[in-house]
Amino acid sequence: MSDTPSPPPKIMAAKKMRDLMTTYYLEALSAAQNHRQVAWITSGGPVEPLVAMDIIPVYPENHGAMIGSAKMGEDLCAKAEDMGYSGDLCAYARSDIACAVVKGGPIGGLPKPDMLICCNNICGTVLKWYEIQARYFQVPLFIFDTPVCHTGYTPEIAAYVKTQVNEYIAFLEQVSGKKMDPARMNAVGKLSYEGQRLWQQVLNTTAHKPSPMSAFDAFFFLALIVTLRGTQIAVDFYKELIAELEQRIKDGIGVVPDETYRLLWDNLPVWHRLKWLSDRFSAHQACLVADTYTSAWCGALKYMDENNFLDSMAEAYTRIYLNIGVDEMAEEVLKMIRFYDIHGLVMHSNRSCKPYSFGQMDIMRIVREKTGIPVLMIEADMVDPRSFSESQIETRIDAFMEIVKHKAGRS
Amino acid sequence: MIFAGIDIGSNTAKAALIQDRAIIGVRVIPTGYHHLKAGTRVFEDLLDQTGLSRSDIRAIVSTGYGRASIDFADKAMTEILCHGAGAHFLDPDIRGIIDVGGQDSKAIALDDQGQVDNFAMNDKCAAGTGRFLEVMANALEVSLDQMGEVGLTADHPSKISSICTVFAESEVISMIARQEKRENIIAGIHQAAAARVAILAAKIRIQRPVMMTGGVAKNPGMIAALETQLNQALILSPYCQETGAIGAAVLASRLPA
């Protein structure tokens, strides 16, 4: 233990991604000068029709993650509370509502939207959040309603959601004053499918031992599949990233020096403590090799038909990880535990995200019963640092790692 | 061979020495501001008490919130592992532990080998911890020692519904204003704290027999409330407060020479 191993080389694609995201935000911020429209959309919303109609999609949640990472969450959340919003409300919603008013955050606020697209496949909070913003900005709002698939996807759900795809396109045509070009839509659908397929391939690289990247890297590289899904930019970037990760595998470069323990993360990241958490786990030779969160942007690929994207989109967007029953979620977690050869599961009970945190106790029980691996639950918030107790979480991580090491026979 | 364990908790610092699977001394002092000073003092006091010197001690493990500050320890380990090892040392049949500490409450599950299998801790909030009881004792102007006994004489325990310590304190103050009997309020406080701890035990499906450790295990009112909530008798040890330090000494004896 006396020789601290030297840190592995950084993933080079990170710089390129930062540049791509900067370009994207500059384009979005200057949209009005260039006579382009901006739509704010929820992270799990069907973005492809927007891309096909040359409307710039902007994600308040992605912006919320940036606010969290930049450690600007506390002030913005407090500002929203000053405005009368409850501290129990999602921190993405609070920071976005505050940001719209004060133009705060790392990029001085998001560009004003021309329309809002709200899909409730991630939660119910977005409905009220987007209604608030629609009133504030006085712009039209489209709600894409995806019923929760607790026990399966029924023909009734399918018919209901497909109707909305048509209504969605009609809404876009009306607000933009343009007709959708079906050929362009097909091309965007193919690019979206290809981007998601490549993103899954990126995530799959961490099945290798040692893992060439960690879930902390995945949280970062995720930005592109969220914001630029359906574009050639995302496809090209992920191809390049895969090539780099495969080279790291060939060269035997692991992201955690002396990787010994492989962990799975559940729920959103704690954006304001990424480095601290990464360092704490690394100090135990533990690598968070995978997570349920970033996988959500490729998990529905199995329901997608790249040659008939618009028709299959309804099912794919309805059957995402957060919109299914706990048994199916647990099954996904168990699959990941097997695929990535996991020693322990770390669950972030996230004050902000009730739908993600609600079933965790059951998933914990199912995982323990079916695999016997230790499970850690830590309470925090993805953006608001006021819900984080460093010394308590440190003790829990240390105790959890003591159990993981014991079970792996290396204590 | 003699091994030492030092447990720096939020309120008290504890030290224990074991030799050939027997406890040869324990010591408790207030932690105060300086963790290293408290750890050094409690350890040196214990050496004086037992007539031993530093060179007699083969290995030291530190634990508790101040574990990392004890620079003369051979290893720092978490209180979860140490309470597990300590309870198993005191009674090898123990399968579950309830540890109500100053800042933290924990439920710990041990496997049949006495190894920690799972644990749950209170979240950031102090409800159901020793700190909760301390705040309430202050509001009621009773000492922590008196509190445990007084609560047992209640005829109709008050109902405290707030989960947060700060809210519960306001609730208690309004009960005082309504002139509810002090013993009833205290019994209500114990039940509210015990209910929070019982949730932790349920989270990890704790198995019997269950030992209660930590300083709060000296409070008979809290024990009675917990036994009701958990629907079982708790195993108590005269070393409840020092269990973490004893466990740390046990783990010190397992360190490679």
Q: What string of DSSP letters covers A119-130?
A: ETTS-SHHHHHH
Count of CB atoms situated within 10 Å of the CB of A270: 24
Using alpha carbons, select from B244, B206, B252 the residue that is nearest to residue B111: B206
Using alpha carbons, select from A403, A337, A404 the residue that is nearest to residue A367: A337
Between CA A397 and CA A376 the distance in angstroms is 8
Q: What are phi and psi of A306, to 5 degrees?
A: -65, -25
DSSP result, A236-272: HHHHHHHHHHHHHHHTT--SSTT--EEEEEESS--GG
State the sign of the Cα–Cα–Cα–Cα dihedral A100, A102, A104, A109: positive
pLDDT value of residue B164? 78
Q: Which residue of A lies nearest to B64 if distances are taken between CA atoms?
A: A395
Instruction: Report cis status (omega within 30 of 0) of the bond before A60.
Output: no
Question: For chain A, which ranges sit under pLDDT 50?
Answer: 1-2
Structure token pair of residue A131: 């209604």
Contacts of B116 in chain A (CB under 8 A): 399, 402-403, 406
Answer left, alpha or beta for residue B15, where phi above 0 means left and psi between -120 and 50 means alpha. Answer: beta
Q: pLDDT of A35-57, one tens digit each?
A: 999 999 999 999 999 999 999 99
Q: pLDDT of B93-151, one tens digit each?
A: 999 999 998 888 999 999 988 999 999 998 767 777 888 888 888 888 898 888 988 88
User: A40: which DSSP letter?
Assistant: E
Instruction: Show the CA angle centred on residue A397, arms to residues A391 and A399, nearest 5°.
Output: 100
Residues of A (365-394) whose Cβ lies below 8 Å from B: 368, 374-375, 377, 379, 387-389, 391-392
**A327 and B CB contact within 8 Å:** no
- Three-class secondary structure of residue A162 per DSSP: helix
Using alpha carbons, select from B11, B169, B8 the residue that is nearest to residue B103: B11
HSE of B228 in the Cβ direction (CA atoms, 13 Å)? Answer: 15
User: A316: which DSSP letter?
Assistant: H
Q: Which CATH superfamily is domain B1-91+240-257 in?
A: ATPase, nucleotide binding domain (3.30.420.40)
Structure token pair of residue A68: 């969290």
Residues of A (237-296) whose Cβ lies below 8 Å from B: none
Q: pLDDT of B169-215, one tens digit each?
A: 889 899 999 999 999 999 999 999 999 899 999 989 999 999 999 98
Check A388 against B124: CB less than 8 A apart: yes
Between CA B114 and CA B86 the distance in angstroms is 10
Check B118 against A399: CB less than 8 A apart: no
pLDDT value of residue B168? 85
pLDDT value of residue A2? 45
Residues of B (189-228) whose Cβ lies below 8 Å from A: 203
Tokens 């707030």 correspond to B162
Contacts of A395 in chain B (CB under 8 A): 65, 78-80, 104, 121
Between CA A367 and CA A377 the distance in angstroms is 13
The CATH number assigned to the domain with range A12-409 reads: 3.40.50.11900
What angle, rounded to 10 degrees, do the helices at A215-227 and A60-69 form?
A: 150
The model's pTM: 0.91
Reduced 3-state DSSP string for B209-223 = CEEEECHHHHCHHHH
User: Could you give the ipTM of this predicted complex?
Assistant: 0.86
Distance between B27 CA and the closest CA of chain A, angstroms: 24
pLDDT value of residue A4? 62
Q: Which residue of B lies nearest to A388 if distances are taken between CA atoms?
A: B124
pLDDT value of residue A255? 96
Do residues A111 and A32 touch, judged by C-beta distance below 8 A? yes
Distance between B126 CA and the closest CA of chain A, angstroms: 11
Q: Which of A349, A379, A399 sits opposite B119 (nearest CB)?
A: A399
Does B163 score more than 80 pLDDT?
A: no
Structure token pair of residue A129: 């959040």
Distance between A139 CA and the closest CA of chain B, angstroms: 40
Contacts of B31 in chain A (CB under 8 A): none
Tokens 């509370």 correspond to A81
Contacts of A349 in chain B (CB under 8 A): 123
End-to-end Cα distance, chain B:
11
Between CA A40 and CA A153 the distance in angstroms is 28
Check B81 against A375: CB less than 8 A apart: no
Q: Which residue of A lies nearest to B256 if distances are taken between CA atoms?
A: A411
Check B104 against A391: CB less than 8 A apart: no
Q: Report the residue of B121, B166, B196, B203 to disrupt the A interface, i.e. the one with the largest count of A CBs within 10 Å.
A: B121
Q: Which of B65, B78, B104 sits opposite A402 (nearest CB)?
A: B78
Helix count and strand count (H, E) for chain B: 8, 10
Q: Report the residue of A402, A404, A405, A411 to disrupt the B interface, i.e. the one with the largest count of B CBs within 10 Å.
A: A402
- Three-class secondary structure of residue B52 per DSSP: coil
Between CA B210 and CA A67 the distance in angstroms is 45
Q: Which of A368, A388, A402 sits opposite B77 (nearest CB)?
A: A402
Q: Which residue of A lies nearest to B67 if distances are taken between CA atoms?
A: A395
Do residues B249 and B7 touch, judged by C-beta distance below 8 A? no
**B119 and A CB contact within 8 Å:** yes
Count of CB atoms situated within 10 Å of the CB of A174: 12
Q: Which residue of A lies nearest to B254 if distances are taken between CA atoms?
A: A411
Between CA A145 and CA A203 the distance in angstroms is 29
Using alpha carbons, select from A273, A271, A315, A277 the residue that is nearest to residue A152: A315
Between CA B151 and CA B157 the distance in angstroms is 9
E strand spans, A332-372: 344-350
User: B240: which DSSP letter?
Assistant: T
Domain boundaries, chain B: 1-91+240-257, 93-236
Using alpha carbons, select from A226, A167, A206, A212 the residue that is nearest to residue A44: A226
Q: What are phi and psi of A261, to 5 degrees?
A: -120, 140
> Looking at the DSSP assignment, which residues form a beta bridge with residue A143?
A118
Check B78 against A398: CB less than 8 A apart: yes
On whether the B93-236 domain is CATH 3.30.460.20, my answer is no
Q: Which of B77, B118, B123 sits opposite A374 (nearest CB)?
A: B118
H/E stretch holding A171: helix A155-176
Structure token pair of residue B188: 């209500």
Answer left, alpha or beta for residue B103, where phi above 0 means left and psi between -120 and 50 means alpha. Answer: alpha
Between CA A196 and CA A300 the distance in angstroms is 9
Residue A154 burial (CB < 10 Å; 0-12/13-18/19+)?
exposed
Contacts of B163 in chain A (CB under 8 A): none
Q: Do domains B1-91+240-257 and B93-236 have the same CATH topology?
A: yes
Q: Which of B65, B78, B115 sits opposite A399 (nearest CB)?
A: B78
**A408 and B CB contact within 8 Å:** no
- Three-class secondary structure of residue A209 per DSSP: coil
DSSP result, B97-151: EEEE-SS-EEEEEE-TTS-EEEEEE--SS-TTSHHHHHHHHHHHT--HHHHHHHH
Contacts of B119 in chain A (CB under 8 A): 399, 403
Structure token pair of residue B162: 């707030």
Do residues A108 and A283 touch, judged by C-beta distance below 8 A? no
**B7 and A CB contact within 8 Å:** no
State the sign of the Cα–Cα–Cα–Cα dihedral A150, A151, A157, A161: positive
Between CA B225 and CA B205 the distance in angstroms is 19
**B141 and A CB contact within 8 Å:** no
Residues of B (8-67) whose Cβ lies below 8 Å from A: 65
**A313 and B CB contact within 8 Å:** no
